[in-house]
């Protein structure tokens, strides 16, 4: 009965022996398979990483190549600007907004200015205190085929009539500029006579020109129509010769005779090695028959420096059949570093017939002014072709560099038309005139940058006799003028 038990145990042991080793082997196979799977994934990731590294390297090389192409293109543009076939247009701002083609065949420069003034006068009865737009201009100069230039500019600041809605032409001319020593200009332009009137009104030393040169008796207009030959035949010599109508701005002539003149000036400092020195001397002269485009003509009149009251007026003297005017003037300026001394003397003779009375009378004027750039800028750097131009501050007004440039000025000017005293109109209860005046002007100027400035002037004018304006009798006008200006 005992023999079956060992047999059962043996069977059980055999079955267990078979089952448990099989389970161990199955577990080991699964781990091996997982290891192989992970190894395969790692190999795949390494291959992908290599591919990504190669792709990253390609992208990096492509980026470097593009940067090099851009850099080479910029260099090529700079080098090929003068030989471009004209497909590209370059723009920059240099005292004006300039568009130009690389060949130099054409260039367009846009320019403009705004001068916003406030003026206060004493006596109050003579002139109203006022805000005004002294000048508001926009125009452009188109240079083409290298030797030609055309300039057109309009004035949008009209007079005090309040109903005037048209734009007045200031410049409208064509230049031929092939020879620097002999340029030709035709159209409407400013005939250069004297130093102060050769200035652009953007750069005059004070808010207005002196009694010697502002629009009035000696200069009946700023602009005229005709032809002019001008240039710099030598580095130190400048000249202009012109023939114009003599009838003023935007006027054709009703007379066959014309007004002709010339100006010759030299900067003798160019004969030395002093780069911060200007030693300017010059002379101007003109001769002609002057008048307006209407047969009624007009008078010879003069207002104060402050654009104030009219103190001299010879009524309708230009309505005579012939009024001959001859002018002569001498000019000088000495500028050394930040200091400038400038002066002019101008004499004008008027000869003609008023009714049955013949006249042959002179007007003599002169001025002298002293200017100082407190911040140390150099006047010589602003001098070119016989005139002083744009002052560039050492440091523009901004948050980093500085406060711009500051200038102080003092001027004395004299007007003497005493030779015309017998021709002055008879005094009335409301109006009377005088024939002599002098003025002191004290000025301060703040140049924020080369294009923006503020000017403050005090002008004291004395008359040789009492004059009557709006029924008020006095011998003095005082004025304060403040200007905010931007030009390009």
Each residue of 289-298: pLDDT tens digit? Answer: 876 554 444 5
Q: How far is the C-alpha of 281 from the C-alpha of 79, rounded, in Å?
A: 42
Instruction: Give the tokens for residue 302.
Output: 């003069």
SS3 state of residue 267: strand
Of 144, 143, 286, 266, whose CA–CA distance to 226 is shortest? 286
Q: How far is the C-alpha of 474 from the C-alpha of 464, rounded, in Å?
A: 11
Q: How far is the C-alpha of 209 from the C-alpha of 189, rounded, in Å?
A: 18
CB atoms within 10 A of CB 26: 9
Residues 192, 273: contact at Cβ < 8 Å? no
Residue with tokens 């000019």: 331
Q: How far is the C-alpha of 347 from the C-alpha of 171, rounded, in Å?
A: 27
Residues 415, 437: contact at Cβ < 8 Å? yes
Q: 104-135: per-residue pLDDT in tens?
A: 789 999 999 999 999 999 999 999 999 999 99
Q: How far is the C-alpha of 196 from the C-alpha of 205, rounded, in Å?
A: 9
Q: How far is the C-alpha of 266 from the C-alpha of 239, rounded, in Å?
A: 9
Q: How much is the pLDDT for 39?
A: 84
**Exposure class string for 330-354: b at 16+ Cβ within 10 A, else e:** bbbbbbbebebebbbbbbbbbebeb
Q: How far is the C-alpha of 395 from the C-alpha of 373, rounded, in Å?
A: 13
SS3 state of residue 61: helix
Longest dimension (CA), the chain: 181
- Full pLDDT tens readout for the chain, 488 residues: 444 444 444 544 544 444 445 445 555 678 888 888 888 888 888 888 888 888 888 888 888 888 777 767 666 655 655 554 545 888 888 878 899 887 778 999 999 999 999 999 999 999 999 999 999 999 999 999 889 999 999 999 876 555 555 688 999 999 999 999 999 999 999 999 999 999 999 999 999 999 999 978 898 889 999 999 999 999 999 999 999 998 888 888 877 889 999 999 999 999 998 999 999 999 999 999 876 554 444 568 899 999 999 999 987 666 655 688 999 999 999 999 999 999 999 999 999 877 777 889 999 999 999 999 999 999 999 999 999 999 999 999 987 878 999 999 999 999 999 999 988 888 999 999 999 999 999 999 999 999 999 999 999 999 999 999 999 999 999 999 999 999 99
Instruction: Give the tokens for residue 432.
Output: 């009377």
Residues 245, 257: contact at Cβ < 8 Å? no
| CATH superfamily assigned to domain 107-487 | Porin (2.40.160.10)
What's the pTM?
A: 0.78
Nearby residues of 285 by Cβ (< 8 Å), 6 or more positions away: 261, 262, 326, 327, 328, 329
147 alpha-carbon distance from chain centroid: 23
Nearby residues of 271 by Cβ (< 8 Å), 6 or more positions away: 236
Of 455, 443, 438, whose CA–CA distance to 304 is shortest? 438
223 alpha-carbon distance from chain centroid: 19
Residues 333, 371: contact at Cβ < 8 Å? no
Q: How far is the C-alpha of 405 from the C-alpha of 278, rounded, in Å?
A: 20
Residue 207 burial class via C-beta count within 10 angstroms: exposed 0-12, middle 13-18, buried 19 and up: buried
Q: How much is the pLDDT for 205?
A: 97
Nearby residues of 397 by Cβ (< 8 Å), 6 or more positions away: 403, 404, 448, 449
Cis status of the peptide bond prior to 274, with omega within 30 of 0: no
Q: How much is the pLDDT for 322?
A: 67
Q: How far is the C-alpha of 151 from the C-alpha of 59, rounded, in Å?
A: 53
Angle (nearest 5°) at CA 15 between 14 and 21:
90
Nearby residues of 427 by Cβ (< 8 Å), 6 or more positions away: 433, 468
Cis status of the peptide bond prior to 347, with omega within 30 of 0: no
**Exposure class string for 62-91: b at 16+ Cβ within 10 A, else e:** eeeeeeeeeeeeeeeeeeeeeebeeeeeee
Q: How far is the C-alpha of 409 from the C-alpha of 370, rounded, in Å?
A: 6
Q: How far is the C-alpha of 176 from the C-alpha of 150, rounded, in Å?
A: 9
Residues 296, 319: contact at Cβ < 8 Å? yes
Nearby residues of 27 by Cβ (< 8 Å), 6 or more positions away: none
């Amino acid at each position: 009965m005992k023999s079956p038990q060992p047999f059962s145990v043996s069977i059980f042991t055999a079955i267990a022996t078979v089952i448990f080793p099989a389970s161990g082997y199955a577990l080991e196979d699964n781990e091996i398979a997982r290891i192989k799977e992970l190894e395969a994934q790692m190999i795949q990731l390494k291959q992908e990483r290599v591919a990504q590294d190669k792709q990253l390297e390609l992208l990096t090389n492509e980026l470097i190549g593009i940067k090099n192409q851009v850099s080479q293109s910029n260099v090529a543009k700079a080098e090929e600007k003068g030989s471009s076939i004209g497909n590209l247009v370059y723009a920059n701002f240099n005292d004006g907004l300039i568009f130009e083609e690389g060949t130099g065949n054409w260039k367009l420069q846009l320019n403009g200015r705004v001068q916003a003034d406030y003026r206060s006068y004493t006596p109050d009865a003579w002139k109203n205190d006022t805000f005004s737009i002294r000048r508001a201009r926009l125009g452009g100069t188109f240079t083409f085929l290298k030797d030609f230039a055309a300039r057109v500019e309009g004035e949008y600041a009209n007079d005090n009539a309040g109903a005037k809605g048209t734009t007045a032409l200031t410049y409208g001319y064509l230049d031929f500029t092939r020879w620097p020593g002999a340029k030709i200009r035709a159209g409407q332009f400013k005939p250069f006579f004297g130093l102060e009137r050769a200035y652009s009104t953007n750069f005059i030393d004070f808010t207005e020109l002196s009694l010697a040169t502002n629009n009035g008796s000696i200069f009946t207009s700023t602009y005229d129509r005709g032809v002019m030959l001008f240039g710099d035949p030598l580095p130190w010599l400048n000249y202009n010769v012109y023939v114009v109508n003599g009838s003023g701005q935007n006027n054709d002539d009703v007379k066959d005779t014309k007004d002709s003149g010339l100006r010759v000036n030299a900067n003798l400092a160019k004969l030395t090695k002093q780069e911060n020195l200007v030693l300017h001397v010059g002379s101007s002269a003109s001769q002609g028959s002057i008048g307006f485009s209407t047969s009624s003509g007009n008078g010879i009149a003069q207002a104060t420096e402050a654009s104030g009251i009219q103190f001299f007026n010879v009524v309708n003297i230009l309505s005579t059949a012939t009024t001959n005017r001859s002018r002569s003037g001498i000019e000088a300026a000495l500028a050394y570093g930040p200091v400038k001394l400038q002066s002019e003397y101008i004499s004008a003779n008027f000869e003609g017939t008023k009714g049955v009375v013949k006249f042959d009378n002179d007007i003599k004027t002169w001025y002298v002014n002293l200017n100082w750039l407190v911040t140390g800028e150099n006047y010589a750097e602003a001098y070119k072709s016989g005139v002083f131009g744009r002052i560039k501050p050492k440091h523009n007004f901004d948050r980093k560099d500085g406060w711009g440039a500051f200038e102080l000025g003092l001027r004395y000017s004299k007007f003497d038309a005493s030779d015309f005293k017998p021709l002055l109109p008879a005094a009335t209860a409301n109006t009377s005139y005088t024939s002599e005046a002098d003025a002191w002007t004290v000025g301060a100027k703040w140049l924020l940058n080369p294009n923006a400035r503020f000017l403050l002037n005090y002008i004291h004018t004395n008359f040789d006799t009492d004059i009557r304006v709006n029924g008020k009798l006095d011998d003095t006008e005082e004025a304060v003028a403040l200007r905010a200006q931007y030009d390009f």
